[in-house]
Structure 1
Amino acid sequence: MRNDKHSAISLRKQGKSYNEISKILGTPKSTLSLWLKNVSMSPKVRKKFLDAVKERQSKSITEFNKKQGEYARKKAQKIQQDAAEMVNALSKKDLLLVGSALYWAEGFKKTRWILAFTNSDPLMIKLIMKFFREVCEVTEEKIRGNVQIHPNVTPKQAISYWSKITKIPQCQFLKCYTRLSPSSKQKRPYNTLPYGTLRISIYDSKITNTVKGWIQGISEKI
């Protein structure tokens, strides 16, 4: 026991923690606390000891945060997947309501003779095209595409991409245009929109007014 005590004191002076000494000697920490309560470290050893404690604490916090982050991510994924499974296939009536609400939020509404919808999200573009074709029953020859691109994007690449997304023939796309304000240059990282932003235009006053009527109908039911 006496040899263990001397060894414990020596290890403590070297900057070992109670946990480390207990593992080395097999001595309970309660015993070590009695043996070592008056044992002091040199300033150099104490600094090294405290630095090691801080490093362990930092690693422990990092590991804890990593586990918590992973738990939160998996929980969020499950919630999202459960919610996604609540949505059935969209009926034509569903599509009318969803498409009208989407156009109400994002569409151009200042005239009575043109429908125009601008966005860079391919899924949103697919949804509005489904709405235009299946609910509004727009004929293909009335649809035009117009892409706004950044200087780093080639027009051919952008038109090819959006043509595949929308199923609009490339010949019905207008000439791409590049427009980037000084403020956007400072805010947007390079290549944020790799295929630019698509504007879909439909020149038909009857359909335009019909969509506005659906929006009005929704607003009156709120």
Structure 2
Amino acid sequence: MAHPHGKYADFETLREQAIALRREGLSRRQIRDRIHVDNNDLLNRLLEGEPPPEWTRRPRQDDLRARARELRSQGWTYDQIQMELGCSKSSISLWVRDLPKPERRDPREQAKLAARKRWEHELALRDKERRRTKEAAAREMGMMTDRDLFIAGVALYWAEGSKDKPYDRRENVLFVNSDPGVIRIYLAWLDLLGIERERLRYRVMIHMTADVEAAEQFWADRVGVDVSTFQRTTIKKHNPKTVRKNVGEDYRGCLVIRVAQGADLYRRIEGWWKGMVAMAPTRLR
């Protein structure tokens, strides 16, 4: 469909763009601004049959009413409820008119509460945008080929694995990480290289204040072996002067993975890495 002023491109091309943006989680307004379509009828046709993302759906009227009554019972004013829920004061008045009026608060306290609510709302919007960006980026990856996995594994090992030094010969394939996702990719890479799982040795490194047994079981489950096959866990002693942030139920320490008889594999990894560096395109002028 061509616009009389030539403003819009071919309809099918626009529709493909609009649907792709919708599936990335963009709202109608964001799509309109991105592809420069200011005709609502045309935008409706472009998005026909494509459901809106969950975050753009408005809550049901019953849900809004229940939430408004809950906030009013907590002493919120109409202005505060309107800012929180985004509905009109007339609707709020209708929903809560049978509830007692809240006691008048100190204006400074009300101002602080309003400022806090505005900031919480801003943080919630930022969090939604952050999640949408990450989800869209994840979809961009697509399927990983063997070549992709090979290169990723080499780079991952060279960043996180142990390295040989001229002054300290350690041609061992030893990898340590606390991220289950990283461990998953590393093991898939070893599988791609044809390294038998029987050659792998596992060990947990963890702080003494953590739940050691739970951490051992957690990592055993992740790598698919019985926890009894793990080597003795390395316990890090507590230093009272250190303010630790890796605490709580989600702290599982690090998993150490060593490949038995790995000297030849280490030399190949180092060679692969040097080859990648040598062949990498340079942007330096």
* TM-score (norm. length: structure 2): 0.54
Deviation at 1:113, TM superposition (A): 3.1
Contact map agreement 2:220 2:227 (CA 8 A) in 1: yes
Q: How does 1:103-182 map to 2 (within 5 A)?
A: 103-110=157-164, 111=169, 113-134=171-192, 136-153=193-210, 155-180=212-237, 182=239
CA distance in structure 1 between the partners assigned to 2:271 and 2:226 by the alignment:
29
The residue type paired with residue 202 of structure 2 is G
The residue type paired with residue 140 of structure 1 is R
| Residue 139 of structure 2 corresponds to residue 82 of structure 1 | no
What is the CA deviation profile of residues 125-150 of structure 1, one whole-angstrom value per residue up to 9, with x for unaligned ones? 1111111112x211122110111122
The residue type paired with residue 125 of structure 1 is I
What is the CA deviation profile of residues 198-220 of structure 1, one whole-angstrom value per residue up to 9, with x for unaligned ones? 11001322211111122112211
CA distance in structure 1 between the partners assigned to 2:278 and 2:132 by the alignment:
36
Deviation at 1:192, TM superposition (A): 6.8
Contact map agreement 1:120 1:193 (CA 8 A) in 2: no
Deviation at 1:189, TM superposition (A): 5.6
Contact map agreement 2:203 2:255 (CA 8 A) in 1: yes
CA distance in structure 2 between the partners assigned to 1:186 and 1:154 by the alignment:
18
Q: Give the RMSD, CA atoms, in angstroms.
A: 2.5
CA distance in structure 1 between the partners assigned to 2:241 and 2:196 by the alignment:
36
Q: 1:71 pairs with 125, 130, 134, which one?
A: 125
The residue type paired with residue 147 of structure 1 is V
CA distance in structure 2 between the partners assigned to 1:99 and 1:218 by the alignment:
12
Q: Report which structure shows greater RCO (CA 8 Å, sep ≥6).
A: 1
Unaligned runs of 5+ in 2: 1-103, 281-285
Unaligned runs of 5+ in 1: 1-48
Change (3 A) 1:194 1:77: closer
Q: Which has the higher helix share?
A: 1
CA distance in structure 2 between the partners assigned to 1:189 and 1:84 by the alignment:
26
What number of residue pairs does the alignment pair up?
172
Deviates more, 1:103-112 or 1:155-164: 155-164
Contact map agreement 1:112 1:208 (CA 8 A) in 2: no
CA distance in structure 1 between the partners assigned to 2:230 and 2:252 by the alignment:
14
Q: 1:95 pairs with 149, 157, 177, which one?
A: 149
Change (3 A) 1:160 1:113: same
Name the SS for the 2:141 alignment partner.
Answer: coil
Deviation at 1:186, TM superposition (A): 3.3
* Stretches (4+) displaced over 6 A: none
Deviation at 1:68, TM superposition (A): 1.2
